[in-house]
Amino acid sequence: MIELVDVKKRFGLKKVLQGVSFTAPRGAITCLTGLNGAGKTTILKAIMGLTPIQSGSIRIDGSAPHQAMYERIVYVSDQLTMPGRMRIADCFTFMQDYYRNWNSDRANELLARFQLNAADKVNSLSKGMAAKLNLLFGLAMDADYMLLDEPFSGVDIFSREEIAAVFSSEMVEGRGIILTTHEIKEIEHLLDYVVMLDHGRITKQFASEDMRMEEGKSVVDVMREVYKR
Amino acid sequence: MELLYNNRDPVYLQVVRHFKERIATGKLLSGDTIPSRRELAGQLGINPNTAQKAYKEMEEQGLIVTEGNSPSRITSDTVILGRIREELLTEAVDTFLASVNNIEVPAEQLLSLIRTRLEKKQASQSDQDLGEKGVT
Amino acid sequence: MTTYWKLLSFELRRLLLPFCILVVFTTVIQLYNAYSKAHKAVDYANKIMKKERLTTMEQYANAHGYFSYSDSFNQLNWIIFSIFICAAFVGFYFVMIWYRDTLGRHPFMTRLLMLPSSRNNLYWAKLTAPLLIMFSLLALQQILVPIGDSIYSSIVPSEARQDVPLEFLIGLNPVLNILLSNSYIDFLFYYGTGITAVIVLFTVILLERSYRLYGLLAGLAYAAAAILLIAIPLFLLQSDLRYSLTEIQLTIMYFVIIALISGVSAWFGQHLLAKKISI
């Protein structure tokens, strides 16, 4: 599991995370949600070592993060992180070169499923295609954890459905998934755990099915309660 | 197969209910095999954990039986099947009664209205069947 | 192949096109310069010979002096221009190598920072790739001088020509004198200083990437301190009050200082890249 304990982070003088603690277990889909600027992306970047934290601890399967660990955790950010002039096929070669657990067969299978062309250059893709390619890079790795930052944002409805279908498939089995989004409504039925953030603090965290069972509330209901202004 | 999810009731129970409906309406017969947990998740568009929970619940309620590594099948236990029908009918009736709760009506009038509408429906259903067979 | 070599070859591949362009550009400029200079000399001689009714080149040379490839070698010329263009590109690239992957819609730096092996590999690949390009361009300069000389010699007849040894040619040109210096100590001095400067530059860049504006200011202060430190032995070498330190001792002092600065800066830069960088 990925565990954060009392994580605090500042950007200059601005406090971005003010004591965040939560656990994202393996084999489950955990959603980090909150309004824009709540600190969701920062948490994902901190887990990946892309931005430092000032205090608190982040533990992945019990140990502190070290660079070799990032073979088992993939981060699917909201931007494509490959040079614009590279072709998709070259990106695959790159990934194969540096990652032992890159699954070429699955990569090609997903390429066909998402209807992407290996000869296309990265900077020629539309937003929806880029989002799918990004997701592909994450799924084609045999990783234990997947962190997804706003996988549905700015993507047309059909691409959204395709992406949501991934979360119902065997590709997520056994993996720990953390995804951030501020659009809960369409995907609430897919989530196991929900962590709500507001200005760098956790305001509520729960298991969605328990909330439905015990209080008859949907995740959106809880959000309305928590964020009512 | 896509279910529209009511996000206020536990998803896994909605899946179980979906199966009960299909059994009660005869779309699923006893002995029929059902998709695996994985396939179920994909078909219904739910998280595999939820599919797992639904499976477990159905096994506990005796709706499905799993023998060894073969795919699970709908139970042949008539008691359980009967109970499901009863459960769904009761639920439907309760829902109906709740919706007419605010309208003051004596029981006999209500029952006779139900009978009339039922007969009308069955008549138009057989007309439709005749029509389909090409008889004027 | 270890990750360092993979990353190095990746960076070099990205530099391949600019490198080839610079090679062609430099070669064409310098060799064309040699060619046209030679022809100009011959045409000039022919003109004078006609005017003064001289018949052989030998007569011309006796009366008016010899031509040499080294003519105008010590002035601002095409050679210096071509070197300047190459140097400008390499200098620019030492900075851009970090920023090109952080700006724009596809921040590749994110991907590089997530690679499952030590970030030190990334640091050294980004340091050594432009350095290799730089040394290759220098090697090019080293061979272009004799080639230019032989082109010149093949056009200007030997009777009117004074040949000059290579070291002398290089010594005449103020820029080549530094870049292709003959003495080992001088070579180490110039290149040691240059590499130290690049390592300090990397530290400044990484400070900016880690702490943004405050990082940049801190980096500039750091660079200023480094400059002051190396100025000490240089100043002492120039001045009269040497505190009875010999030239050799001061030279050693200089090398020790730049080694220390490089070591500390390289360690610090890698530390920033591994633990403090923020994208």
Residue B136 pLDDT > 60: no
Strand order in the sheet with A55-60: A14-24, A2-11, A55-60
pLDDT value at residue C103? 84
Q: What is the mean pLDDT of residues A125-140?
A: 90
CA nearest to A177 within chain B: B47
Torsional sign, CA B17, B23, B27, B28: positive
- Among A212, A214, A221, A223, most B C-beta atoms within 10 A, so best to mutate, is A212
Q: From the CA of B113, how many Å to the nearest CA of chain A?
A: 34
β-pair type (B73-74, B64-65) = antiparallel
pLDDT value at residue C195? 95
Report the residue from C110, C116, C118 with minimal CB separation from A77.
C110
What confidence category does residue C194 fall into, taking pLDDT thresholds of 50, 70 and 90? very high
Torsions phi, psi of A83, nearest 5? -55, 140
Residue C60 pLDDT > 50: yes
Contacts of A220 in chain B (CB under 8 A): 7
**Range A37-42, long-range pairs (CB < 8 A, 24+ positions):** A37/A199, A38/A197, A38/A198, A38/A199, A38/A200, A39/A9, A39/A197, A39/A199, A39/A200, A40/A149, A40/A180, A40/A197, A41/A78, A41/A149, A41/A150, A41/A180, A42/A9, A42/A16, A42/A17
A217 membership: H or E segment, kind and range: none
Closest by Cα among C86, C69, C33 to C173: C69
Weakest mean pLDDT among A115-119, A157-161, C146-150: A157-161
**Any CB–CB contact under 8 A between C51 and chain A?**
no
With vertex at residue A219, the alpha carbon angle to CA A215 and CA A225, rounded to the nearest 5 degrees, is 75
- Give strand ranges (E) for A43-175: 55-60, 73-76, 145-149
Determine what percent of chain B is predicted with pLDDT higher than 90: 10
Q: Which residue has the tokens 């180490």?
A: C188
Residue B105 tokens read as 């009506």
Residue B98 tokens read as 């709740």
**Any CB–CB contact under 8 A between A182 and chain B?**
no
Report the residue from A67, A70, A122 with minimal CB separation from C106.
A122
Calculate the average pLDDT of chain B. Answer: 84
Closest by Cα among B21, B10, B20, B58 to B36: B58
- Give first-to-last CA distance, chain C, whole Å: 28
Residue B24 pLDDT > 90: no
**Any CB–CB contact under 8 A between C276 and chain A?**
yes
Please state the ipTM of this predicted complex. Answer: 0.92
Torsions phi, psi of A169, nearest 5? -105, 175
Greater confidence, A205 or C169? Answer: A205
pLDDT value at residue C244? 67
What confidence category does residue B133 fall into, taking pLDDT thresholds of 50, 70 and 90? low
CB contact under 8 A, A170 and B38: yes
pLDDT digits (tens, 9 = 90+) for A169-189: 878 888 999 999 988 888 888
Residue C144 pLDDT > 80: yes
CB contact under 8 A, B42 and A164: no
pLDDT digits (tens, 9 = 90+) for C227-263: 999 998 888 877 766 666 777 888 888 999 999 999 9
